[in-house]
Amino acid sequence: MNTKIRLLLTLDGFRMAAFGLLGPIYAIFVEKIGGDILDAGIAFSIYSMSMGILTYFIGKLGDRLKKPVNLLIFGHSIMAIVFFSYLLIRNPLQLMIVQLILGIGAAISDPIYDTIFSINLDTKKRYAEWADWESMNFIILGITAVIGAGIAKYLGFQVLFIAMGTSSLVSVVFALIFKSKKS
């Protein structure tokens, strides 16, 4: 596996860890801020719809960029800020706004990441390296689901959000390292 693919897997692993820490206990957090199951569904829908719609346009923009890695760094930075902003959420409306911004960050970074990953694949190991990415993501989500639940139960959501933001910031650091390798 080449160094660029290793860096890309590492940066996405930390980003996926941030998502995985909250994933399975998301609805519990929504209840904790005064929301209900419908609010959880609406907030997740806002994230998904904003990401889905904006991904289309970001993909078109990405084809014209000379340094798409800058957009990857920008999108990952937005997500890191959003994960830390969970510390400030006190009601469902604030959550919905944060989910919208999270969707924007993910829409900015995801198509760029996928393209950069594809470009840097070893031509004789394409299937294996995509399998590495898929395996890593699901294993990380499985591990961080338990870790996130444990953190929330024993240390509270505030510590969980700090862990999410920190993990996402680490992904930004690895994106910056990747950018330095591109030159």
Could you read off the pLDDT of 47-62 as tens digits, one per residue? 999 999 999 988 888 7
Domain range summary for the chain, segments of one domain joined by +: 3-182
Residue 183 has pLDDT above 70, yes or no: no
Q: For residues 163 and 169, what is the distance between their CA atoms, to the nearest angstrom?
A: 10
Predicted confidence band of residue 182 (pLDDT cuts 50, 70, 90)? low
Average pLDDT, integer, range 31-54 = 96
**CA-CA-CA-CA dihedral for 30, 33, 37, 43, to nearest 10:** -60
In three-state secondary structure terms, 38 is helix
What residue type is 53 in one-letter code? I
CATH superfamily of 3-182: MFS general substrate transporter like domains (1.20.1250.20)
Provide Rg for the chain, Cα atoms: 17
Q: For residues 22 and 148, what is the distance between their CA atoms, to the nearest angstrom?
A: 6
**CA-CA-CA-CA dihedral for 125, 128, 130, 132, to nearest 10:** -130
What residue type is 96 in one-letter code? M
- pLDDT recorded at residue 24: 87
Q: For residues 158 and 87, what is the distance between their CA atoms, to the nearest angstrom?
A: 6
pTM for this model (two decimals): 0.93
Handedness of CA 127, 130, 136, 139 (dihedral sign): negative
